[in-house]
Amino acid sequence: MKIETHYKLLTMKASSFTIWASVLMTFAFNVMLLKYVILNTDISSASGIGVLLSIIVITFIITFTSFSFLALISPVILKTFLIVVTILNSAAIHFMGNYQVVLDRTMIGNILNTQKSESIELISKDLVFTILILGLGVSCIVLIFKISRIDRRVIIRNMFIAFTSSVIFLYANASSWLWIDKHASVLGGKILPWSYIINTARHFSSINKTTNGQKPLANGHFLDNNKTVVVLVIGETARSANFSLYGYSKLTNPKLEKESNLLILKNTKSCTTYTTGSLKCILSPNEASVNEESLPTYLTRHGVDVQWRTNNWGEPPIKVSKYINANELSSDCEGKGCKLDEVLLTNLIDAIRSSEKQKVFVILHTKGSHGPSYYSRYTQDFNQFTPVCRDEEISKCSPEELINAYDNTLLYADHFLSTLIGELKSLSDASTAMIYISDHGESLGEYGLYLHGTPYAFAPDYQKDIPFLLWASDAFLAYKQINISDISQAPEHSQFNIFHTVMGAFGLSAPIYDRERDILQNAPSENE
C-alpha cells in the first residue's frame, strides 16, 4: 500500500508536468539572468520590482509555451529535451558565473569555432562537478516522474490562460519595457535554455547569409573615368522634426546651416521603423528587390573601391573592398569623440587618397542618436541643451529633459557631418559628394510612445520622417554641370533614392538605373 502511494506521487498528468518543469527551468537555471536584473535596477523601488517580475513572467511564458507544445507532440520528446537542456544549462551556468559569458550569437560562434585543444583546456573539476550535481541531478528528477496521460484540452487551456495573463501583466507594467529594450542584447544571452538555442540557430543562419546566391543586377558601364569620391553616411534614429534645417525652433544644425552646396531633401520617409529593414531599403534599387545584390556589392563588382566603416550593426549581406569595425580604428583615433561616431573618420582621407581606383565609395554607418541613453551619444562639448535626461527609463524624465538630451545628439551629428565635409574639401584632385540619410526616426513620448520599432502601419510620423541631405564640392557640381539651388525637388523622397543617386554620381549607366529617383537629375544643366 505504501509503495502504491509513493508511485502515485511520482505520476503526473502532462498538464501538471509542464507547469512543474517550467517553474523549475525558470528559477533553477536562470539565476544569472535574475542576478543581472537585480544588479542593474533599483530592486527596492516599484519600477525595479516591476522589471524583475516582467523578466520572470517573460522567461516563464516562453518556457511554458515551448514545453506545452512538446508535451502535445510526445511526453518522451519533452522529457528527452528537458534532460539535454538541463545538462547544457549546468555547463552554461558554470561559464556564465565564472567567466561572465553572455551566450549571444557572437559567443555561440566563438564556441562552435573553438579548436578541440582549446575546448579541452576549459574542462575543469568545477565544470564536471556542476554538471554532475546540477545537470545530472535535475535529469534524474525528470526521469523518475511518469506522465500518466496527455490531457490535451487542459494543456491548451493552460497555455491560453498563461499567455493571456502574461500579456495583461506585461501591458500593465509597460514602464519596464524601456529597461528591457536597453538591456535586450544581454538578457537575450542569459535566458536559459533559449539563449543558446536561438543564438545557435542565428549563428548558422548568419553563415548562410552571404552574397552567395544573390541575384546579380544587370551590368552597367561608366560614362567617364573622372576621379569621384562619394561618402554615404547612414544615420541612426534621427528624425527630421528636430533638425533646424527642417524648421525646428532650436538650432540643432548650426554648422551645416553655414555650408554652401547643401541640398536639403524634404518629405523623406523611411521604409521601416527598424534598422535592419531600413538598411536593406537604403542599399536596394526598389521595393521589389528580393535576394538581389545590394549597392555596395554592385559597385564593388563594377570596380569601385567600396569601403564600409561601421559603429553600428544590421547591414544585409554585402561584398566590399574593405570592411572596418569601429574597434579596429580606435587605436589610431585621437580626440574626445573616439568612443563615438568620430572614430569612423580616423585616417579616412588617407584611405581615400591611397586608393588606386578612380571611383571611391565610402559608407559610414553611425551610432547616431540611438536611445534610450541619448546622453551617452555625444561629448560634453555638445551638452548645450539642458537639463538633460540621464535615466535609461526615459518615461521618468520630463519632456524637456528628454528632448534636450536627444537634441544634443543631433548637435553632435551636425559636428560629425560638418567635420566630414571639411575633410572632403581637402580632396582637391577629386569630385566629392556626401549623402546623409537616417535609418528611421524616433518617438520621444508623443502619443505615449518612446524609441522606435512600432509596426509601420501604426507608427507615428516621428518614427518615419527622416533627414536626407546631400553636399557636393564645387568640382563635383561643375563635373555634373548642375547648381544645387536649381534642383527641383520631388513631392516626396524615400530611401530608395540613394541607390540611383549614387549611380548617377559615379556616372554608372545600367538598366537598373532610374533617372526619376536620382535626386540630382531634376536640375537643369548649364547647357540647357
142 and 270 assigned to the same domain: no
> Does residue 333 sit in helix, strand or coil?
coil
pLDDT of amino acid 107: 63
Question: What is the Cα–Cα distance from 369 to 231, expressed in whole angstroms?
Answer: 20
pLDDT of amino acid 528: 45
Question: Is 495 within 8 Å of 271 (Cβ atoms)?
Answer: yes
pLDDT of amino acid 423: 97
pLDDT of amino acid 54: 83
145 and 243 assigned to the same domain: no
What's the half-sphere exposure (Cβ side, CA atoms, 13 Å) at 339? 6
Residue (of 365, 361, 366) closest to 502 by Cα position: 361
195 and 263 assigned to the same domain: no
Count the domains in the chain: 2
CA distances from 258 to 6, 295, 358 (A): 84, 31, 30
183 and 251 assigned to the same domain: no
> 150, 175, 208 — which closes off a domain?
208
pLDDT of amino acid 5: 45
141 and 49 assigned to the same domain: yes
Question: Is 463 within 8 Å of 440 (Cβ atoms)?
Answer: yes
Q: Is residue 213, in this structure, part of any structural domain at all?
A: no
CA distances from 135 to 100, 128, 366 (A): 19, 10, 43
> 157, 175, 208 — which closes off a domain?
208
pLDDT of amino acid 375: 93
Q: Is residue 334, in this structure, part of any structural domain at all?
A: yes
pLDDT of amino acid 1: 40
Q: Is residue 464, in this structure, part of any structural domain at all?
A: yes
Question: What is the Cα–Cα distance from 182 to 36, expressed in whole angstroms?
Answer: 13
Q: Is residue 496, in this structure, part of any structural domain at all?
A: yes
Cβ neighbors of 273 (< 8 A, separation 6 or more) are 440, 441, 452, 453, 454, 455, 456, 459, 463, 464
Q: Is residue 84, in this structure, part of any structural domain at all?
A: yes
Question: What is the Cα–Cα distance from 68 to 158, expressed in whole angstroms?
Answer: 9
Domain of residue 490, CATH code: 3.40.720.10
pLDDT of amino acid 300: 96
Question: What is the Cα–Cα distance from 444 to 424, expressed in whole angstroms?
Answer: 34
Question: What is the Cα–Cα distance from 520 to 230, expressed in whole angstroms?
Answer: 14
- Parent domain of 494: 225-372+400-522
424 and 504 assigned to the same domain: yes
pLDDT of amino acid 3: 43
Helix, strand, coil distribution of the chain in percent, nearest 5: 55, 10, 35
pLDDT of amino acid 176: 77
137 and 274 assigned to the same domain: no
> 176, 208, 240 — which closes off a domain?
208
Is pTM, for the whole model, over 0.85?
A: no
CA distances from 451 to 47, 184, 273, 372, 397 (A): 19, 14, 10, 7, 14
Q: Is residue 95, in this structure, part of any structural domain at all?
A: yes
138 and 249 assigned to the same domain: no
pLDDT of amino acid 121: 47
Q: Is residue 146, in this structure, part of any structural domain at all?
A: yes
353 and 465 assigned to the same domain: yes
236 and 99 assigned to the same domain: no
164 and 20 assigned to the same domain: yes
204 and 229 assigned to the same domain: no
Q: Is residue 438, in this structure, part of any structural domain at all?
A: yes
The dihedral region occupied by 85, where left means phi > 0, alpha psi between -120 and 50, and beta the remainder, is alpha
395 φ/ψ angles, rounded to the nearest 5 degrees: -65, -20
Q: Which three cell numbers stand for residue 345?
A: 573618420
Alpha helix stretches (DSSP H) within 242-287: 275-282
Residues of the chain with pLDDT under 70: 1-9, 98-101, 104-122, 124, 203, 205-211, 392-393, 523-528
Sheet containing strand 431-438, strands side by side:
262-264, 468-472, 431-438, 228-235, 359-365, 305-310, 322-325
